[in-house]
Amino acid sequence: MNGRAGVQSVVLLLIGGTLIRTAWTGTYVRYVKPGLHWYLIAAGSVLVAVAAVNLARLFATAARARHHEHQQHEHEDGDDGHGHGHSRLEPSWLLVAPALALLLVAPPALGSYAASHGGTALGAAASSDFPPLPDGDPVRVSLLEYASRAVFDKGQSLQRRTVAMSGFIVVDGDKRYLTRMIITCCAADARPVKVGLTGAVPPSTTADSWLEVTGTYTPQTDPDPIDGEPIPYLAVTAAHPIPTPKQPYES
């Protein structure tokens, strides 16, 4: 079987299998938006089908070649049938390892390391026209909505309101930032939105732990050390740990 063509087919098979597996198990939301679910299944199915056809052709060609060699050897005298082929591992087979690793071990969603090395995406959502929040306290908001209202509306629409939101923790010295990654399409374009926490923050909170918090607006801000954009704060009145959500990103 042709080594290079075989490696290409196996890599296609593994990539297609990975797409189908991540879509089927739901782990795809660690890497892309939820709306791409059926696109991943369709793409993975096409790759698996192409790989299967290519491998079938390669095995059929190899079988015919072995049969032809066998017929030739039958007409050779003094041939003991040994020592006529030494297989070696082609370097191209090493390309299979990353695809196999991705299939067997699904990497986690982006967390505090990526967030601490990226500037806040708040500047992309600049606006000063915010409708009133829905009735009832606490009102659930996304981190991006709270941060936008706190910075660009000067907290006017947050006055005398209690909000609830969730995210993972980024630690910067003695500061704790509640963070969510914002994606447009996939994890490759992810940027963090950060909200500083003050008040009733659990002292044992560690990086990457997920929290559900409730609190009220405070005018305190920090400049983001990466891009200088303002990071607003929330005065926390209650907080408790939660498991990592099935959809860790905001969009």
What does the pLDDT look like over 157-174, one tens digit per residue?
999 999 999 999 999 888
Quote the pLDDT of residue 83: 46
Compute the 3-state secondary structure of the chain and give helix, strand, coil in percent, each to the nearest 5. Answer: 45, 25, 35
Residue 188 token pair: 């490759």
Domain limits, CATH 2.40.50, in the chain? 112-241
Quote the pLDDT of residue 106: 66
Quick one: 70 exposed, middle or buried, by C-beta within 10 A (0-12, 13-18, 19+)?
exposed
CA-wise closest residue to 111 among 240, 248, 229? 248
Over residues 222-250, the pLDDT tens digits come to 998 888 889 999 999 999 999 988 888 88
Query: Phi first, then psi: what are they for 160, rounded to 5°?
Result: 60, 25
For residues 165 and 140, what is the distance between their CA atoms, to the nearest angstrom?
A: 6
Quote the pLDDT of residue 214: 97
Please tell me the pTM assigned to this model: 0.68
For residues 133 and 139, what is the distance between their CA atoms, to the nearest angstrom?
A: 8
The answer to whether 181 and 32 have CB atoms below 8 angstroms apart is no
Residue 208 token pair: 């990457």
Low-confidence ranges of the chain (pLDDT < 70): 1-4, 65, 67-103, 105-107, 117, 122-128, 251
CATH number for region 112-241: 2.40.50
Using only C-alpha atoms, what is the Rg of the chain? 27
